[in-house]
Structure 1
Amino acid sequence: MAGGWQPLAGPAHRVALEILLDGPLSRAELARRVGLSPGSLTRITKPMLESGLLVEVSGGPVDPRVGRPSQPLDVVPAAHHFVGIKLTGDQAVGVLTTLRAEVIAAAELPLPDHAPAAVAATVAELTKTLAAQSDSGLSGLGISLGGQVVGKSEVRSGSFLDWYDVPLGQLMSAHTDVPVVVANDLTALTEATHWFGAGRGAARFCLITIGAGIGYGLVVHDKIVDTPESSLGLIGHHPLLPDGPRCERGHIGCASTLLTTDAIVSQVSAALDGPGSADSTSTTRELTYDECLDLAVKGEPAARQVVDRAGYALGRLVATAANFTLPDRVVLGGEGVRLVDVAHDALLEGLHLDRHPESTDPPIVLLDASFSEWARGAAVIAIQTFVLGS
C-alpha cells in the first residue's frame, strides 16, 4: 500500500506527524518545527516523497530567494482508510475516515443483544459495510465504548453493555485481519478533539461531555492526561447544587442527577405529569430529550425550570474545570450538548458564580451531538496506533 508509515523513526517520523496534523507545511516551517537544517530536511523528505507518503502541493507563497512559489509538503489523506465504531447499550455506530479523520461514510446497526460474540459479529458486519466504500482497503479499526479498557484490547468493565473481562480485541480477530484497537469512548473523543478537532493548537484544553453519562478529558502540553481511573466517570458525582436530587450513591445535587439526558427527561416528565401541572401536553408517555428541550424553548414553565437548573449546574461544572486546569478553551460535547444553547443564560449565570469577577470566560466550543462524533474518535485511536506504532 502506498504511503506507508512504518518503519519511520526519529526526525522522519516527526516530520510526517507534523505534516499529518498541521499540513500542508512549507519546508522552512517544517525545518523550524523539528530543528533541522534545510539540507537535512531535504535528505529526510526525499525518500518519503518517492514512496508516496508525502506529496508536494501548489499554492505556497513566493520564495523571494528563487522567485517562484514554494511547494508545501502534505500527506495523501485518502491513501489510508480507517473504521471507527462506537458501541452504546443498543447500537453500533460506525464511520469510515481518511488518515486525517475526515468522515467519508457513516452507518449503524442495532445490537441484537449484549453477548460479546453477538456484538463482535455486529461490529464485523458494520465494518464490512463501511470498508466496501474504500478503494484502498482498511489500515485500522477502532472500537470505543463506555467503560474501562486495558491493553487496547480487553474490556475490563463496560456498564452500558453489562460486560466484565471481555477480550473484545481477541474476539474481533476471528472476524478480520485488520489491526484492531479498543478504547474508552471518552479517551477516544478527547484524542480526536486533540489531534483533528476543536482542541488542535491549544496548549491546554478540557472536554466535558453530557449525555447518558458525564465525562471529562484533559490535554496538557500536547498530551492527554490519562490514567486507569479516567474511565470511571469520576466527574459524574461532583457536587453542583446543594438542593439537587439525590443519586443512587447518596450524593445530593451531583452532576449525574442534573446533567444526564435521562435525569433531565425524568425530571421534566415528572414535573409535567405531577400535581398542579397546567400544561396541556401532560401525558404518561415519557418525553424524549429533545422534546424536553423543545418545551423549554417554547416557554413551558416546568420544562424551563428543569432545563435552566441543568444549564446553571453545567455552568458551575465548567467553572470548576476552568478554575482547576486554566484551559485555553473548554470543549463541550456528547449527545446532550444542545442543553448549552437552550440554557445558555443559565449556564453563564452558573459559570460566573464560581469564577473570579476579574477572570475572563474561557472560550467554549461545542462538538456535534451525534454518535458519529464518538465513532470518529474511535477511528482516531486507530489512526494514532497506525502512525505512532503503539
Structure 2
Amino acid sequence: MTARAASWLPLSPGERSVAIEVLTHGPLSRSDIARRLDLSAGSLTRLTKPLIESGLLVEVAEGGALPEGRQGRPSQPLDIVAESRTFVGFKITEDMVYGVVTTLRSDIVARHDLPLDSHDPQHVVDVLRAVTAEFARRFPGLAGIGIGLGGRASDRSVVDESAFLGWHDVPLARLLEERTGLPVVVENDLNALVEAESWFGAGRGLDRFAVLTIGAGLGYGLVSGGRRIVSPEDGRGVGRFWMVNPNGPLTPEGERGSAISLLTIPNIRYQVRAATGRDVSYDEVLAMAARGEPMAARVIDEAARALGTLVAQIANFAMPEKILLAGEGVGLVDVAGPAVRQAILANRHPQAAPVNLETKVSDFHDWARGGAVLAIQVLVLGQVQAGS
C-alpha cells in the first residue's frame, strides 16, 4: 500500500508563527494575532494571505461559524480548517499497536488496533502498514504518521533503544515511509503526550505545565515558556532513581523505595501478590483497597503517599501553573485521594498556594493521539527539533 500525502507549500518562519498561534489559541481576530506576535497590520496580511489561499486558514463568523455565501471580511476571526488535513498516530506497546486518525486540531476521528505477534522490526512495520492501509481507505488524503513508543529516539526517526521491544538503532521512520509513502515521525511516547496536552489539552495556553504519568512505568515531562523541556534523560526511566521512601517496598529487581517500586502497576500488583499469594489485576487491587482489605489497602496507601510526595516535589521545584496526572494508573486517586492530598500538604510550605492538580485517565488511544500531534508539529509546521 502506498498512500499519497496531502501536499502544501512549506511555511516560512512568519507563516509558521501565525499558523501555530491560530491552531493553539484560535479562532483569533487579526488584531489579536498582530498583538500576540507583535506584527504590523501589513505584515500580518502578507503572512496570512498564503495560509488562506492554501486552505490552512479560513475566515469565520463570530463564534467560529463559517460565514454563509461569502469569504468574510477582514474583521472576521481567522481559524484553522481542522479537517483540511488528517494524521495517523500510533502507540506501540509490548503486545499491541494502537492507531488513531486525527484532524489538524488532534480530534480523534477513527481508531484501529492490531496485536503484535513478534517484536521483529519488519513484523512491527507490517502491522503499522496494515493499520495505515485501513485508515487510508477512509481518509485518502492522509498527511503523515506520528509514532510514540517507550524508549529513546533520535532525529525523530531512529529508535535508539526500546527495552520492551528489544530494539537498538532501528530506523523505524525510514522503514515505514518505504512501505506507506507517507512521511513518518518517531518519538518517545511520553514526549508525544506532553506535546499533545501542551498544545491541545490540559496545558493549552499555560506558560509552565507539568505532566506526571503512572501506569506500566512512570513518566515526567515539563513545559516552560510554552515549550517542552528537552533532557538527555528523556526515555531513560528516571523514576527508577526518584527516591520517595528509602524504607519502602522492594521490586522484583531488588530496588527499594523508588517511585517505580511504589507507584507503577506491575510493582503494585507484585506487592499484593507477595503479601497475599493472589495474582490480581490492578483494578482488583483498587477494589480490594476500597473495600478495606488490609494488605491491598496498605499497598495503595503507600502508593498514594508516594504520589502526593512526588506531586509536592514537582510543585515545589518546577512551580508549574498546573500538574496533569495521567496514565492508566490514575484510578489510584479515586480510591486514595485523601492520602494523596495529605502527602501534598505535608511536603509543601503551609502558606504555599494550592497545587492545581488535574487527573486524566489516559488510554492507549490518547497516547496514540500524541503521535499524531508530533506529525502535526513536524510535518505541517516544520518543527523539526524537539521542544522547538
Tell me if both proteins adopt one fold, taking TM over 0.5 as the criterion. yes
Q: Map residues 296-307 of structure 1 onto 2, 5 A cutoff.
A: 296-307=289-300
User: TM-score normalised to the size of structure 2?
Assistant: 0.91
Q: Map residues 233-382 of structure 1 onto 2, 5 A cutoff.
A: 233-247=237-251, 251-273=255-277, 284=278, 286-382=279-375
Measured against aligned partners, the alpha-carbon deviations of 1:43-102 in whole angstroms (never above 9, x if no partner) come to: 3323332332211111259xxxxxx99411111111100011001111111111001111
Tell me: CA distance 1:213–1:43, structure 2 relative to 1, closer, same or farther (3 Å).
same
* SS of aligned partner of 1:231: coil
- Of 194, 219, 242, the residue aligned with 1:215 is 219
Counterpart in the other structure of 1:280:
none
Counterpart in the other structure of 1:64:
none
Deviation at 1:206, TM superposition (A): 1.0
Counterpart in the other structure of 1:78:
83
Structure 2, unaligned runs of 5 or more: 65-72
Distance in 2, Cα, partners of 1:22 & 1:6: 23
Q: Map residues 138-149 of structure 1 onto 2, 5 A cutoff.
A: 138-149=142-153
Q: Map residues 175-254 of structure 1 onto 2, 5 A cutoff.
A: 175-247=179-251, 251-254=255-258
Deviation at 1:375, TM superposition (A): 0.5
User: TM-score normalised to the size of structure 1?
Assistant: 0.90
* SS of aligned partner of 2:179: coil
Tell me if the contact between 2:118 and 2:124 (Cα under 8 Å) persists in the aligned partners.
yes
Measured against aligned partners, the alpha-carbon deviations of 1:263-291 in whole angstroms (never above 9, x if no partner) come to: 11122233333xxxxxxxxxx4x211111
Determine if the alignment matches structure 1 residue 38 to structure 2 residue 41: yes
Aligned residues: 372
Tell me: CA distance 1:104–1:71, structure 2 relative to 1, closer, same or farther (3 Å).
same
Tell me: CA distance 1:37–1:254, structure 2 relative to 1, closer, same or farther (3 Å).
same
Residue identity matched to 1:310: A
* SS of aligned partner of 1:229: coil
Counterpart in the other structure of 1:14:
17
Determine if the alignment matches structure 1 residue 116 to structure 2 residue 109: no
Residue identity matched to 1:368: V
Distance in 2, Cα, partners of 1:145 & 1:7: 28
Distance in 1, Cα, partners of 2:369 & 2:57: 24
Tell me if the contact between 1:3 and 1:52 (Cα under 8 Å) persists in the aligned partners.
no
Comparing 186-195 with 237-246, which one deviates more in the overlay? Answer: 237-246
Deviation at 1:321, TM superposition (A): 1.2
Distance in 2, Cα, partners of 1:69 & 1:39: 12
Structure 1, unaligned runs of 5 or more: 62-67, 274-283
Tell me if the contact between 1:82 and 1:383 (Cα under 8 Å) persists in the aligned partners.
yes
Q: What is the RMSD computed on CA atoms of the aligned residues?
A: 2.1
Tell me: CA distance 1:89–1:339, structure 2 relative to 1, closer, same or farther (3 Å).
same
Tell me: CA distance 1:30–1:341, structure 2 relative to 1, closer, same or farther (3 Å).
same
Counterpart in the other structure of 2:67:
none
Residue identity matched to 1:74: D
Tell me if the contact between 1:60 and 1:69 (Cα under 8 Å) persists in the aligned partners.
no
Distance in 2, Cα, partners of 1:192 & 1:51: 25
Measured against aligned partners, the alpha-carbon deviations of 1:229-270 in whole angstroms (never above 9, x if no partner) come to: 211011232111132123466542101111000111122233
